[in-house]
Amino acid sequence: MAIYLDDPKKFKGLVGQAHQLAMNALRPISRKYDKAEHAYPQELDMLAAMIDGVSESGASQGAGAAGVKRDTAAEDDGTVKNGTNLASVMSIAEMCWGDVGLLLSMPRQGLGNSAIASVADAEQQERFAGAWAAMAITEPGTGSDSANITTTAVLDGDEYVINGEKIFVTSGERADAVVVWATLDRSLGRAAIKSFVVPKGTPGMTVERLEHKLGIKASDTATIIFDNCRVPAANLLGSPEIDTKQGFAGAMATFDNTRPLVAAMAVGCARAALDLTRELLEQAGVEVDYDRPALTQSAAAAKFLQMEADWEAAHLLMLQAAWLADNRKPNSLEASMAKAKAGRVGSDITLSCVELAGTLGYAEGELLEKWARDSKILDIFEGTQQVQQLIIARRVLGLSSSELK
């Protein structure tokens, strides 16, 4: 099956709309909510309503986190499909050209929405439609090792009783619901880990605190305590059966769809930094010549060319991971590659742009220093750089998690 590297023509309208929203709606309030940490950006309500309207019209092709899904039921007829996953990463990259923190604060575009879209059955998809869902995975003692989750879910009649603590939950206070990862039986290891939708206001679920952070300050990041929190058994996403042969694959399938989204965030933020830095270099009389070797140009121009090459690699890996999902191909390796590459070069590019711009890059007169702060989280959440490299090594070498730690 051929892979085409040009952006699909049918998404050009969507990408153009996303760019206009980023430029005219997100950029103007970017600094305001960076300074007003934990204040909810009221302007996003109208913007979210506009996006919902476009989605309902069918013009968006399912763009955004809520549109990400893998259609395993459809037959592979051998044709190339550019679908919701590709539309999502392309539109999210454009929105993050505007502001990552504000994109993460967008109603109904939480990573929990992507989890629901990825693994929920048809009845659950309909029941949770329109809800804004956060995702709670990380715990104080687990960090990036999701397989060691200690939060428990015990079946009691037709309800599960959840107990545990989750930290760094994006939109944990604002969202309508939280997708919580918990284990049904710790003795069975990673195979027993399932995800549950816990609606806001459920007794036993308490937002303990909001974190003060380096970047993405517009987004609330919560610590949530679950103390005998009861949810209907029907809120378990996917199958309640524990399949020790499948292991952790069911729960981890969510990451195959969310990691390209995080890669898209890094790609968008890095592109913003490159675009502004090019303008600042031109104003300073530094020419970036694409027709001459980098070694014959100034150090600043050579550095800029190297950053653009790194950005292009991350961009293409992001598109590949999403494209494979659209075409019902395994993409776990490619999703981790996209996340690892984009997360690293996103942070490298934004910091390097601060350096190239000198005092303009470090001061608050421009958004470069903010983008450098915002981009760091994109190399951390949804699996750190080190975890992604470990996953990639296992896939490439054909080794299990017990064989390569």
Amino acid at 369: E
Residues 81, 61: Cα–Cα separation, whole Å: 12
Beta-strand relationship, 152-156 and 205-210: unpaired
Residue 333 is inside which H or E element, if any? helix 332-357
Residues 61, 58: Cα–Cα separation, whole Å: 6
Beta-strand relationship, 177-183 and 159-170: unpaired
Among 280, 290, 283, 267, CA closest to 350 = 267
Amino acid at 149: I
Residues 170, 261: Cα–Cα separation, whole Å: 14
What the block records as the tokens of 99 is 């502001």
What the block records as the tokens of 144 is 């990036």
Residues 88, 15: Cα–Cα separation, whole Å: 10
Burial of 371 (0-12, 13-18, 19+ CB in 10 A): buried
Q: Decide if 44 contacts 106 (C-beta within 8 A).
A: yes
Among 256, 316, 336, CA closest to 69 = 256
C-alpha Rg value of the chain to the nearest Å? 21
Q: Give catalytic residue positions.
A: 382
Can you spell out the DSSP letters for 263-323?
HHHHHHHHHHHHHHHHHHHHHTT----TTS-GGGS-HHHHHHHHHHHHHHHHHHHHHHHHH
Residues 114, 124: Cα–Cα separation, whole Å: 13
Residues 120, 253: Cα–Cα separation, whole Å: 12
Residues 62, 300: Cα–Cα separation, whole Å: 40
Buried residues in 201-237 as b, exposed as e (16+ CB within 10 A): ebeebebeeeeebebbbbbbbbbbebeebebeeebbb
